[in-house]
Chain A
Amino acid sequence: MTRRLSASFLPHHARAAAVFLFIGAGAAGVALAVNACGVRAPDSHGDENLPNAKAGPFRVLRAGEAPPQDRTMPYALRRKGTRDPCALDIDGNPATPDVRLYVAASDRSYPDGPPVAILAFEAADGRSFDPKTEDATVLVPSEAWEEGRVGAPSVLRVGNQVWMYYDAAGGIGLARSDDGLHFTKVPTPVLTADAAVAWEAGATPSEPSVVQVDDGSFRMFYVAASSIGEARSLDGERWERVTGGPAISPVAPPDFPTPDADSVYEPIDDVRVSGPFAVMGTSSLGRRILRVYYAGLNRIGLWSLGLAARYDGDGVLQRAYGPVLGNLYAPKGPSVVFFDDFTLLWFTAPEDRTKPDSAPAIGEGVAPATVSLQLPGL
């Protein structure tokens, strides 16, 4: 039943075996030739369309990603004394990156001075803002409590209106507009210092960021002392602080589990947190997320951008595992808009990166970092 190879029939099989081996060896040889004889292996794949919340980390824009071609990147707007950007998706359509960028501005003759106006610049691609825009001013000090300064705008769409929260000497103010360009102020500040709040140490709240959550109520994140606090409101005018301490405060994360004696791991925000920017988003599986971007200062004097978030509108904010933008540009005052394919970030940065004390300007970044932004028309 079972045949065994024997010397007697080897010659008969030899021809067939030779033909068979020739075919097999030929096929293997072709494969080896493709692999090893100067033909480059095809590019590897498998990393396309992988999940990404598009919430960071960001990279700064590269040369050529915003017109004009000779624009110094990553500066989206270099106009002396501009800072604290807040971006608004003009048409509210995440498929089109048309953005109006509100910024605080100091007197151009004194760019490091306090902000004395809020300006607005527009770009259909979210990048090509024209710093020479005429009549860019949309808000100036006019109330006594403002003491001649307005800054740190936080702009959101509420119904058919655009609301702007801003900080001034006496607290946080509110102005409303039908077109996003002409604002009418609420005459008194909507949030002022409260000596009863111990952690605020009597500081006047500043750098507001307001977001409307799904039940229609509002949440405000603001800076007091070296932390970020939270307040809630049903109508956007009457605010009540959330008790229990700051929403985000400087904290050193625990030591790395296996510390290397020769390495120094520096947290990004163990000295101060500031410049909150709150935005609502939705995860890929439909969970609502309130994200708060902020600037953090660490003990060696480096600023970076961080992220904390929570599901739904209320609760404790959890920090991200790492910064959303590193300290290379000493970024502060972030603002973020989510579009369909990418997320744009604007931040305050020294106009000369090598001189941290140089006048502020507006830098821009994008997430995911793998995205390449095309110029309009290309």
Chain B
Amino acid sequence: MRSSALAVACAAVLIAAPGSVRANPLDTFGFGSRESAMGGAVVADTWSFAANYYNPAGLISAPGTQMSVGYFHAAQHLQVNGLDNNVDPVRGIVGGLVVPGKLLGLPLAFGVAVHLPDDRLSRVHSLKDEAPRWEMYDNRSQLLFIATNLAIRPVDWLDIGGGVAYLAATRARMDISGFAVIPPGDPYDSQLRHEVDGDLTTVRFPLLGVRIHLSDRVHIGLAYRGESKLDLKFSAYLHGQVGYDLIRVPATYSLESHTYDVFHPRQAVLGATWLFHPRARVGLDLTWIDWSSYERPISNSSTRLDVDTGGLPLVIPPSPKPTVAVDPGFHDRIQPRVGVELIAVRCAHFALPVRAGYVWDPSPVPDQVGNTNSIDTDRHTFSLGAGVKLTALLEEIPGDITVDVHAAYSVLPARKVYKENPADFVGDYEASGNMLALGATLGLGF
């Protein structure tokens, strides 16, 4: 009962607390060494802190309270026309907690998980519509992830889980007033005052999961991850005088910019795990990803310049046309994943599992024949891993100590882009690349 209260209390506090950020380095590189080594094909076969991402219903299968901490580093060697674009690596601490218990006689479990980047907490990068960028890997992977979930087992053959995650939204305003010197005067002679007002708000979105135990050896899992996006709004207002020397012209300039960044599409995962041998299991997942709803991190902006020339024969440039992001036209995708786990060695206090996995991540990005330049290719990821599991090693730790490691190598086969307009400023290009992710996770079970 005490553990149940603890689980409920933790969940209540974390679900109510704003300020966390959830994003998707996990989509790309996986979460937890065991699950990453199996290609993420674990929607029906996860019970550690990683279940907070793959399937919250899996939390209920945790054999006891579990704490985990780990680290992973993913190097991205992404190239265009044979030249490396030096896309930032993704790395950070992963970890979490699973606390199972009972509430009113029903099995209940609480979980929390975090991915904490160790070079920056988050990064957003808003570009012009036509600016080339690795759409999937430039900054979508550069965010803090926190998720909290609850799971219950209402009947023996059914697990249900769900939770809440958060997204931070930013609104900012900048007011500038004073005298702006324009060429041929020296702009450094400008006397301007500015005021910045920023606001952070949160957006919640759901994580849901179900597991069905068809038998002791066959399990089916279904998970849903909601859509999220970072809502960035910025406005600037300049009011004052513009000119040089004795020429001073009253002017106002306003800028409104609205950007959605770090878009994370809705996902639905259906998968199954088959324990085809007492020491071996295989998992197969299919993930539907709602990429057709994708919104590119493009600034929708408008500006307006009003200048009172007082009848002077001055040529005032017209206000530029407002920028509106082009529909990226992404396609929904089905992403297959397969993973296997084999207990190579097992004795009373020791087990040595080995794992392998594969993911085919078809690109949702259409051929960039027009003005936009979202660089992306298909991705084939091959993963390997192993673990050491020590059981009842110490009196203080009657449960398990696990150490899991994994390596995942992704191949991004070459994709050629031929522009329809020969006057295109970016022109034809060929994109390709590879990624190498390494990680380790230490787990402690009671």
Interface residues of A (CB under 8 A from B): 2-7, 9, 12-13, 15-17, 20-21, 23-24, 27-28, 30-32, 34-36, 41-42, 44-53, 55-57, 256-260, 262-266, 283-285, 287, 289-291, 300, 307-311, 317-321, 354
Contact = CB atoms under 8 A, between A and B. Distances in A.
B67 A24 contact: yes
A264 B423 contact: no
Interface of B: 2-3, 63-65, 67, 69, 71, 79-81, 83-88, 92-93, 95, 99-102, 114, 116-121, 123, 125, 130-134, 137-139, 184, 302, 304, 315, 318-322, 324, 371, 373, 375, 394-399, 416, 418-419, 421-430, 444, 446
Contacts of A321: 130, 371, 421, 423-425
Contacts of A23: 69
A48 B132 CA distance: 10
A320 B133 contact: no
B373 A13 contact: no
A51 B444 contact: no
In the A-B complex, the 5 residue pairs with the closest CB atoms: A53-B427, A49-B83, A51-B429, A41-B120, A320-B423
A27 B427 contact: no
Given A46-B86, A55-B427, A287 B418 contact: yes
B422 A311 contact: yes
A266 B318 CA distance: 8
Contacts of B67: 17, 20-21, 24
Contact residues of A: prevailing secondary structure:
loop
Contacts of B396: 12-13, 15-16
B423 A284 contact: no
Q: Which interface residue of A3, A7, A264, A290 has the most chain B CB atoms within 10 A?
A: A3
Nearest to A15: B396
27 contacts: A3-B446, A4-B3, A5-B64, A7-B2, A23-B69, A31-B116, A36-B121, A44-B123, A46-B134, A47-B133, A49-B80, A50-B80, A53-B424, A263-B302, A264-B318, A265-B318, A289-B422, A300-B318, A308-B423, A317-B423, A318-B423, A319-B423, A320-B421, A320-B423, A320-B425, A321-B130, A321-B424
A309 B371 CA distance: 15
B422 A262 contact: no
A133 to B, nearest CB: 29
Given A3-B398, A55-B423, A321-B423, 17 more contacts: A12-B396, A16-B396, A17-B446, A27-B71, A44-B125, A46-B137, A49-B85, A51-B80, A51-B429, A259-B321, A264-B319, A265-B318, A284-B81, A285-B428, A318-B421, A319-B423, A320-B421
Contact of B138 (A13, A34, A46): A46
A280 B149 CA distance: 61
Q: Which interface residue of B67, B321, B427 has the most chain A CB atoms within 10 A?
A: B427
Contacts of A7: 2
Contact of A263 (B83, B114, B321): B321
Contact residues of B: prevailing secondary structure:
loop
Contacts of A17: 67, 444, 446
A23 to B, nearest CB: 7
A307 B130 CA distance: 17
A36 B320 CA distance: 38
Contact of B398 (A12, A55, A258, A310): A12
A41 B92 CA distance: 14
B63 A3 contact: yes
Contacts of A300: 315, 318
Q: Which interface residue of B102, B125, B444 has the most chain A CB atoms within 10 A?
A: B444
Contacts of A289: 422
B91 to A, nearest CB: 10
Contacts of B322: 256, 258, 260, 263
A285 B418 contact: yes
Nearest to B83: A49
Contacts of B319: 260, 262-264
B158 to A, nearest CB: 17
Contacts of B88: 44-46
A2 B63 contact: yes
Contact of B424 (A263, A285, A310, A320): A320
Contacts of B418: 285, 287
B83 A12 contact: no
